């Protein structure tokens, strides 16, 4: 079974790729500490919907409207943590 750190790294890599593609960020550096909502002009309310849709498609998940909060989009890391919580098998 893969080590959880490896799984988290793969998850973070996927989330960064989805953010870059959905927001048209090119190869802009993104780390876990990179601020998102309120810091990236590309991430407006419509873009949040597009990012969520891309994440749902990529990970085969459904994000309920009630589960979406600004705190999940505070940083790349908080978004990764949110997706990790949704995709955990014991959820």
54 has a pLDDT exceeding 80 = yes
- The H or E element spanning position 37 is none
Distances from the Cα of 43 to the Cα of 8, 27, 47, 91, angstroms: 23, 16, 5, 28
58 has a pLDDT exceeding 50 = yes
Predicted pLDDT of residue 5: 61
Q: What is the mean pLDDT of residues 46-71?
A: 94
Predicted pLDDT of residue 8: 82
| Residue corresponding to tokens 């949110």 | 82
Burial 57-83 (b: 16+ CB within 10 A, else e): eebeeebeeeeeeeebbbbbebbbbbb
Q: How many Å apart are CA 81 and CA 62, to the nearest integer?
A: 16
Predicted pLDDT of residue 37: 93
Q: What is the pTM of this model?
A: 0.88
């Amino acid at each position: 079974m893969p080590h959880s750190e490896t799984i988290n790294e793969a998850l973070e890599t996927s989330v960064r790729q989805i953010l870059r593609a959905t927001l048209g960020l090119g190869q802009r550096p993104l780390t876990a500490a990179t601020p998102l909502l309120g810091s990236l002009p590309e991430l407006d309310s419509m873009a949040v919907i597009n990012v969520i849709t891309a994440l749902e498609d990529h990970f085969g998940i459904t994000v309920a409207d009630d589960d979406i909060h600004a705190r999940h989009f505070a940083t790349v890391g908080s978004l990764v943590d949110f997706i990790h919580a949704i995709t955990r098998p014991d959820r």
